Each structure stands twice: as C-alpha cells, then as structure tokens.
Amino acid sequence: MTDAPGTPDATVADAVPGNWVDHLAPAATRPYLRLSRADRPVGTWLLWIPCLWAVTLAAAASPEGATMADLWLIVSSGIGAFLMRGAGCSWNDITDRDFDAAVARTRSRPLPSGQVSVRQAVVWMVLQAVIAAGILFSYNWAAVALGIGSLALVAVYPFAKRFTWWPQVFLGLAFNWGALLLWAAREGSLGWPAVALYLAGIAWTLFYDTIYAHQDKDDDALIGVKSTARLFGTATRGWLRGFMVVTVILMAIAVIVALLPGGNVLKLVLGISGVWGLGWHMAWQLRQLDIEDPALCLRLFRSNRDAGLIPALFLAIAALL
C-alpha cells in the first residue's frame, strides 16, 4: 500500500521495487532523492558509462596503461554522473511538471504530487550542480571547458520534445558528453577515438531511449509530446536495428583508431570483443522487444546498464595488461 501523494513516503510509480531511497533514506530526504531519480539508478549508469569507455580506452591505448590517476577519473566521474544526473532530472521535472501531472507513470513524481515545491526543487538542483562543479574543477582546463559547454545541452533537452520528433538526439548529445570530457581529462585534449565514442553513444541512446519512450506513447499523443517512439510507430524495430549497427560500427572505429597504432593484438582483440558484446546485447533486446508491453520496455531499457558495461569491462582488462 502506498501513502497519499504529497507525503515523504509517497513512492514513485516507476521506481525500482525495494530501492534504497524508499526503505533506507531518512524520510525528509526522500522527496529530493526521488527528484534526483536516486530510486531509479539506471540513468546514472547510462550517464557514467560513456565516461568509463573514454577512460578505459585511453588507458588501454597509452604505453603506461592504467594508472592511479585513472582510478580518480573513474570514481570522480561516477560521483559527478550521480550529481549531474540529479541536477538534470530536477531541471527536467521543473520544466515538465505540468506534462508529468497528465501522464499516469509520472504524476507520482515529487513535483506534480506535491512532495516538493518548485522553489525547493530549484535550490536542490543548484546545490547538486555546485558540488559537481567542484569535481569538474579538479580536472584540466580542456575538460573544464567541455564541462561548462555541456550545460547548454542540459538546459535545452527538456524542451526538445515540444519542438522536434527527435528529442532522443538531444538526450544523446547530453548523456554521452562524458566520452569527450573524460578523454580530455586524461589526455589533455580531444582525439578522434573520443569523437567516435561520442557518436556511438548517441546512436546507443537513440536505441535505448526509443524503447523507453514506448511506455508513454499513448499519453504523449494525448498531451502533444513528441518522441521517436511516436515517430517510428510500428517501424520501430527496423530503426532500432539501424541504431544498433551504427553503434557497433562507430565504437569499433574508436577502438581500432585508438589501439591499432600500438600494435598490441591482444588489446585490440579485447576491445573488439567488448564491442561485439555490446552489439550482441542490443540484438538480444531487439529479439525480446514488444513495443505494446510497457513493463517489458522498461526492463529492456534498464538492461542497457549491463550492455554498456560490457565494452568498459573488456577495455579495462586491456588497460591493465
């Protein structure tokens, strides 16, 4: 039994069952943690994973391999992903509070349900962003500049579904920025492998977020919100297959461009194996997909955490050789 909306114990409809926020967090903090999606952690993983790709690929490509500095980049980018995802979700919910109140899956979120006020949400958003900025300024100036540049994408994304059928592109541009930022944080500048990783991540985001958007396509049609799920309709499977192919090709290019000059065949084989693993997982999702089953769409969307970690794991092994 759930509590009445507006109380600290009013759970969110699409939260992970048994999540730590609903059961372990102090009651006063729960609305704010829900605003940050701490009860739905997959988004933090999806923001962090491109950072992991960049650090592990750059480390695998360098003559010295992985270093203690890489450990700091991995840990700090994970904390930063949690904070910036929280700030971004807070901003998204502030701008979308009227839309969220009209959609069955989202009307239990903290703002439309009355658990927090708009002013409280703004303060919470700024607090998270300020702490994340402290982490960003521990990096080099190339990374700092890229981090500041990403704020425009974060600001625009919530409005994209109001003016384009491709809001998932804007999500991909924002969510995969870490591939560029963490490459620059490690290497001091951008490189072509980072650009290829970034583009691969955008294609991957189009894949998983189109699946996610099929949960809400009926409500979205009623309130006039656009998405690739509505745009593709019954042709979704073909589009997703295309995004899968583009993801695999671009990530393979990133791995080859980064690792081939070093001449280490084992590292290259490990890198390509990780790419193949990601492609296999995406193909498995396609075989399971039923766009008319919202619960299945949510489960497949969440499974992309594991899909994205496959190449990161293989590249981490290559970096440790």
Q: Judge whether 201 lies within some domain.
A: yes
Q: What is the pLDDT of residue 187?
A: 96
Residue 136 lies in a domain: yes
Tokens of 211: 């699946």
Q: Among the listed ranges 13-17, 73-77, 208-212, 280-284, which one has the minimum average pLDDT value?
A: 13-17
Q: Are 226 and 188 in contact (CB under 8 A)?
A: no
Q: How many C-beta atoms lie closer than 10 Å to residue 223's C-beta?
A: 13
Helix (H, G, I), strand (E, B) or coil at 188: coil
Q: Does 15 reside within a domain? A: no
Give ∠ CA 283-319-205 in degrees, rounded to 5: 30
Residue with the larger pLDDT of the pair 256 and 97: 256
200 phi/psi in degrees, rounded to 5? -60, -40
**According to the 3-state scheme, what is the secondary structure of 45-80?**
HHHHHHHHHHHHHHHHHCCCCCCHHHHHHHHHHHHH
Q: Domain for residue 4, yes or no?
A: no
Percent of the chain with pLDDT over 70: 97
Tokens found for residue 268: 């290259």
Give this prediction's pTM.
Answer: 0.92
Q: Is residue 10 part of a domain?
A: no
**Which token pair is 90?**
């807070």
12 lies in a domain? no
In a domain, 8, yes or no: no
Q: What span, in angstroms and rounded, lies between the C-alpha atoms of 200 and 196?
A: 6
User: Considering only CA atoms, which of 83, 78, 1, 80 is closest in space to residue 37?
Assistant: 83
Q: Over the stretch 1-11, which tens digit does the pLDDT of each residue have?
A: 344 444 545 67
Cα 100 to its chain centre, rounded Å, is 20
**C-alpha–C-alpha distance, residues 142 and 133, integer Å:** 14
CB-based contacts of 277-280 (< 8 A; 24+ apart in sequence): 277/310, 277/311, 277/314, 278/204, 278/247, 278/248, 278/251, 278/307, 278/308, 278/310, 278/311, 279/244, 279/247, 279/248
Q: What is the pLDDT of residues 265-302, one digit of tens each?
A: 999 999 999 999 999 999 999 999 999 999 999 999 99
CATH label of the domain that carries residue 31: 1.10.357.140
pLDDT value of position 4 = 40
Q: Residue 120 sits in which domain range?
A: 20-320
The string of pLDDT tens digits covering residues 33-44 is 999 999 899 999
Has residue 14 been placed in a domain? no
pLDDT in tens, 74-119: 999 999 999 999 999 999 899 988 877 877 778 888 899 899 999 9
Task: Give me the number of domains the chain comprises.
Answer: 1
**pLDDT over threshold 80, residue 155:** yes
210 burial via Cβ count (<10 Å: 0-12, 13-18, 19+): buried
* Token pair in block for residue 54: 């960049």
